[in-house]
Structure 1
Amino acid sequence: MPEETDAVVRIAGVIKEFGPLRVLDGISFDVARGQTVAIVGRSGSGKSTLLRCIAGLETIQGGTIAVCGHAVGTPGSAARAQLRRDVGMVFQSYNLFPHLTVERNITLALTLVKKQSKEEARKRAADVLGLVGLTDKTASYPEQLSGGQQQRVAIARSLALQPQVMLFDEVTSALDPELTAEVLGVMEDLARRGMTMITVTHEMGFARRVADLVVFMHKGKVWEIGPTEELFAAPRTPEFRQFVRSEL
């Protein structure tokens, strides 16, 4: 396991409630720099809510989350800006601006938020489109792209801001198998390049192949956690054994 000092994301005793419903119930684990973590579990186990809490999109009722040494949820615009720099998040829906070209979808935040010149932003866009294999789509509009290509643009847009951590929330669940493979290939390449990634996924083959650490969530808790190979080889609880069987 990684040294404590390597932790880029530190989650300790996190509680999240929606009214009387406790969705996250004392979640704790660390993510080391360069590590790929797969969060798996049935629908309703709290996986996506946890990701949204790490990104600062939901307020927690207990515990702490720290990213790159900064506490998530610290009041003030400077803290929020720091979190936006540290964390990139890609959702199931691509959230691209339909009226903007692929290039402008990527350069918009670079020019408005990072105050880069148009020339700098266009160079950065070209670099990240190269990473996701879409250098020929610079002038295309989202409606001219397949779902897999749109999701790869969404990944490129997040990468352009040079985050320390990338969060992926079921990014292939709306795609057919061929397009799913296309997007997972990009994520696998990012893992090889040493990007710190936390991904909520139902793609067990991807989790087994790419993740360093697997977190199995059940009823809002971390039910099992451990190195991927070890966890899949010998599930410790009947709930995880059943989950693995059902996903094969």
Structure 2
Amino acid sequence: MTENVIELHEATIMQEQQAVLQGVSFALEKGAFAYLVGRTGAGKSSLLKTLYADLPLQSGMGTVAGYSLPKLPASKVPYLRRKLGIVFQDFQLLSDRTVAENLMFVLNATGWKGKSQKQQRISDVLVRVGLSGAANRMPHRLSGGEQQRVVIARAMLNEPVLLLADEPTGNLDPEVSANIMQLFGEINNAGTAVLMATHNFQLIEKYPHRILTCKDGELLDSAQPR
């Protein structure tokens, strides 16, 4: 049996009391990679927010990383998010703290104990994203591509089973975008499932994977020919 890290069945995705997607049914297997595409406002970000329990799933069934989304109590949301890595387009780094302090903030918030273990984990993820020398630098001293690598390092701290990325290359030039995609490929090859929302069809052509398309209130799946 292949384990699914996402399962949605007849789910309705809401945004501000409006249904933006209806009848959403798909599964993403452990270690799989899929793109999420569609016009602005078609429901991509709302779907991602539902998956990491920022928006409630009010209709239909859904599980993410073993957690049932309907009626998920607020007290369980942090435990779900510990199993996820979330990468935003706009970085959302703490501007008054160094790279290492940004990562330490997450480790402290997710219950890590032991100073040496935390420092080792920070070192490990920075090496993994190619930023081993950046621990003591401030975010504003980094390029956009370097900041996005820090965001990816932050997302990988808790060794997630699933990485959710919302337009992770949206603010980056093509060469840097390609580097970020290669990094996502390495993370995916190491066993982490990736669901990535993007508008960048050149990247999709260069790195082909399954495509989920938000269109006219539905989710179309390239793995399920209509």
TM-score, scaled to structure 2: 0.91
Larger radius of gyration: 1
Q: 2:132 aligns with which of 122, 131, 135?
A: 135
2:45 is matched with 48
Matches of 2:128 and 2:67, distance apart in 1: 28
Where does residue 117 of structure 1 map in the other structure?
A: 114
Deviation at 1:124, TM superposition (A): 0.5
State how many pairs are aligned: 226
Match of residue 241 from structure 1? none
Amino acid at match of 2:176: L
Q: CA deviation at 1:211?
A: 5.0
Q: Counterpart of 2:183?
A: 186
Counterpart of 1:168? 165
Superposition CA RMSD, Å: 2.0
Q: Write the deviation string for residues 116-153 of structure 1: whole angstroms up to 9, x where unpaired.
A: 22211111011111111000111100000001100110
Deviations along 1:148-186, whole A, 9 cap, x unmatched?
Answer: 100110110110122111100001111122322232221
Aligned residues of 2:212 and 2:219 also touching (Cα < 8 A): yes
- Counterpart CA distance in 1 for 2:191 and 2:15 is 35
Moved more, 90-99 or 206-215: 206-215
- Give the drift of 1:84: 1.5
CA drift of 1:20 comes to: 6.1
Residue number in structure 2 paired with 1:149: 146
Higher helix share: 1
TM-score, normalised via structure 1 length:
0.84
Q: Structure 2 CA distance, aligned partners of 1:151 and 1:20?
A: 32
Alpha carbons of 1:34 and 1:210: their partners in 2 closer, same or farther (altered >3 Å)?
farther
Distance 1:192 1:209, change over 3 A: farther
Gap runs ≥5 in structure 1: 237-248
Ranked by relative contact order (alpha carbons within 8 Å, sequence separation 6 or more), the top structure is: 2
Change over 3 Å in CA distance of 1:77–1:122 after alignment to 2: same
| Deviation (angstroms), 1:217 | 1.8
